[in-house]
Amino acid sequence: MDGENPNAVRIAVREAPYSQFSGRREPSVVQFPTRSNGKSLMVEQNEFHFDYVFPATISQDEMYQALIQPLVDKFLEGYPCTALAYGQTGTGKSYSMGMAPPDKPEHMGVLPRVLADILERVTARQENHKNPVLVYASFIEIYNEKPFDLLSSRPHMPMVAARCRQCTCLPLHSQEDLQDILELGIRNRRVRATNMNSNSSRSHAIVTIHVKSDTHHCRMNIVDLAGSEGVRRTGHEGVARQEGVNINLGLLSINKVVMAMAAGHPLIPYRDSVLTAVLQESLTAQAYLTFLACISPHRCDLSETLSTLRFGSGAKKLRLNPLQVAR
Ligand code: ADP
Ligand code: MG
């Protein structure tokens, strides 16, 4: 992506702060060796290497500048880009991605910051060009393996999968437009309370910023995945258990697509899940993809933390741009 790190796929890890509900404060299970140069962490005796590792003390601004701003640069050069947060419920996925209005400006997450950068640069370009460049947003939810267009007039009717590309796009001129769109979409989301967290979202949310001109249509996807915790921890039966299975299917399918691309397979299993089908255009050889693995500092979450980190280690092998394969 830059001279130092040319990978179109980057994996970052962000440690969540201590939860105020977790009782006695114990040391975090995650350690950040000072010699690692911000690229590795230790959990128990396991050392993991990533493109970036962010301890709980990192601010939203620092995370954005290091991880997402270079992605916006690529997007404005015309490449399809996706930033995707995954991990256990309660580890800061929605906070990091900026899916809800922040209570303080410093808590502002990725989405409004991306929009600010895009609007600023599109406006600057507009002054030198005759062709109008317009910015739009769409908001899709994948719930129980069905896609919902949260901005449409019928947000509770599943979309026909093949029509995901034709979802409702609303114009974005300002931060206020973005907040209105997020509020509308969030109202329309289906939320299931679970034992883990009463606000826990059991669905994947994909907000896409579209930049369109006469000749171009470029998409930047901000993806807030459903909690990756296993069914065993949610404690529900029936419908909720089925949801758990499907949520894991989505994550597994991303993993399979990632692995198939890493192995150079000619057939990539995009159709294995709605999530990978929706993201298909953004998971191509020209695409730029950034994973943010969100992890818990708590010992009781150790096994989820390890599986989140292992998924990230697997995704590190992904190579997208043909130039990189040739390296
Ligand atoms: P998830 O989407 O992964 O379930 P949330 O983003 O909802 O988790 O985060 C859970 C809670 O922790 C929220 O109240 C959020 O504001 C808070 N939180 C998460 N990460 C941070 C952070 N780095 N700094 C401050 N608060 C955070
Ligand atoms: Mg969330």
- pLDDT tens-digit readout, 170-179: 999 999 999 9
**Residue owning the nearest CA to atom 5 of ligand 1:** 92
If DSSP codes are grouped into helix, strand and coil, which group holds residue 184?
A: helix
**Residue owning the nearest CA to atom 17 of ligand 1:** 92
Q: Tokens 């931060």 correspond to what residue?
A: 175
CA dihedral for 174, 179, 184, 188, sign (positive or negative): positive
> What pLDDT was estimated at residue 325?
40
**Stretch 57-65: mean pLDDT, rounded?**
97
Higher pLDDT, 145 or 47: 47
pLDDT averaged over the chain? 83
Pocket of ligand 1 (CB under 6 A): 16-17, 89-95, 227, 294
- pLDDT tens-digit readout, 300-323: 999 999 989 988 887 776 666 554
ipTM of the complex: 0.99
Q: How many degrees, rounded to 5, is the angle at CA 110 between CA 147 and CA 191?
A: 35
> What pLDDT was estimated at residue 161?
63
d(CA 9, CA 320): 7
> What pLDDT was estimated at residue 12?
96
Give yes or no for a contact between 14 and 63, defined as CB atoms under 8 angstroms apart. yes
Centre of ligand 1 from the C-alpha of residue 91, in Å: 6
- pLDDT tens-digit readout, 212-224: 988 888 999 999 9
Share of the chain above pLDDT 70, in %: 81
